[in-house]
Amino acid sequence: DTGVSQDPRHKITKRGQNVTFRCDPISEHNRLYWYRQTLGQGPEFLTYFQNEAQLEKSRLLSDRFSAERPKGSFSTLEIQRTEQGDSAMYLCASSQGGQPQHFGDGTRLSIL
Amino acid sequence: ILNVEQSPQSLHVQEGDSTNFTCSFPSSNFYALHWYRWETAKSPEALFVMTLNGDEKKKGRISATLNTKEGYSYLYIKGSQPEDSATYLCAFADNAGNNRKLIWGLGTSLAVNP
């Protein structure tokens, strides 16, 4: 297993467009997390899955954001009607239970 | 509202200096305290997970201590090297409910000058 992988690495899109990111966690990990990181900040929690169940979603996450993990393996994060403020690095991490989280390299989103 | 604070926000040291920084977290409902190292253009890498009051963990020149009663953890780097330059993040997990998601600090940015 090569670790957590995220796709794409970079996404540039116009304001108002929809974008979808994918995360493939480490295969035996049951937990998957999405974070957002903006310049100068630590990771900001967005949402978290245990297997296929979405257990928590940040209040900071507007209705334009949705995440799925349909079979308890890979996950997708979709942002609808993107806005300038959505520009950030989107990080995915996975863990087995409460063990340390392993992070992917992230998807950098730039909104024009 | 759960809050994790790290200090200092940034630190510049000379190669060979030893340094330490602090992570403060809520002292109630403690479950675990994580330390991560985040180098520029890379993803965060786990250093330690600490669960017991008085725990001390070590990995090479880096060590960490934990005081759950007063709600703080120290990270120490002995004999800093330029390759130690990174942002060091701590994250707190509480045991309220079953979620135990991490609450992250903003990090301490360390720059080691050769």
The string of DSSP letters for B56-106 reads EEEETTEEEEEETTTTEEEEEESS--GGG-EEEEEEEEE-STTT-PEEE--
Whether residue A34 contacts residue A47, with contact meaning beta carbons closer than 8 Å, is answered with yes
Whether residue A35 contacts residue A91, with contact meaning beta carbons closer than 8 Å, is answered with yes
**Minimal CA separation from B8 to chain A, in Å:** 14
Residue A39 makes CB contacts below 8 A (sequence gap 6+) with none
Interface A–B counts its CB contacts (< 8 A) at 49
Distance CA A21, CA A35 (A): 12
First-to-last alpha carbon distance for chain B, in angstroms, is 41
pLDDT at B96 over 70: no
- At B62, the pLDDT band (50, 70, 90 cuts) reads very high
Distance CA A67, CA A45 (A): 13
**Minimal CA separation from B46 to chain A, in Å:** 6
pLDDT of residue B1: 56
Distance CA B18, CA A94 (A): 32
Q: What is the mean pLDDT of chain B?
A: 90
Q: Which is more confident, B2 or B31?
A: B31
pLDDT at B103 over 90: no
The answer to whether the CB atoms of B99 and A105 lie below 8 A apart is: no
B-chain residues near A105 (CB < 8 A): 42-43
Residue of A nearest to B106 (CA): A42
- Is A104 an interface residue toward B (CB < 8 Å)? yes
Closest Cβ opposite residue B43 in set A48, A100, A103: A103
The answer to whether the CB atoms of A105 and B42 lie below 8 A apart is: yes
Phi/psi for B82 (5° steps) reads: -55, -35
A-chain residues near B2 (CB < 8 A): none
Tell me which range, A37-46, B51-60, B101-110, is most confidently predicted by mean pLDDT.
B51-60
Q: Which of A55, A58, A89, A107 to substitute to test the interface with B, most B CBs within 10 Å?
A: A55
Find tokens 């709600």 and name the residue: B71
DSSP annotation of A86: G
Compute the average pLDDT of residues B68-94: 94
Residue A90 makes CB contacts below 8 A (sequence gap 6+) with A6, A21, A34, A35, A36, A37, A46, A77, A106, A107, A108, A109
Distance CA B13, CA B17 (A): 6
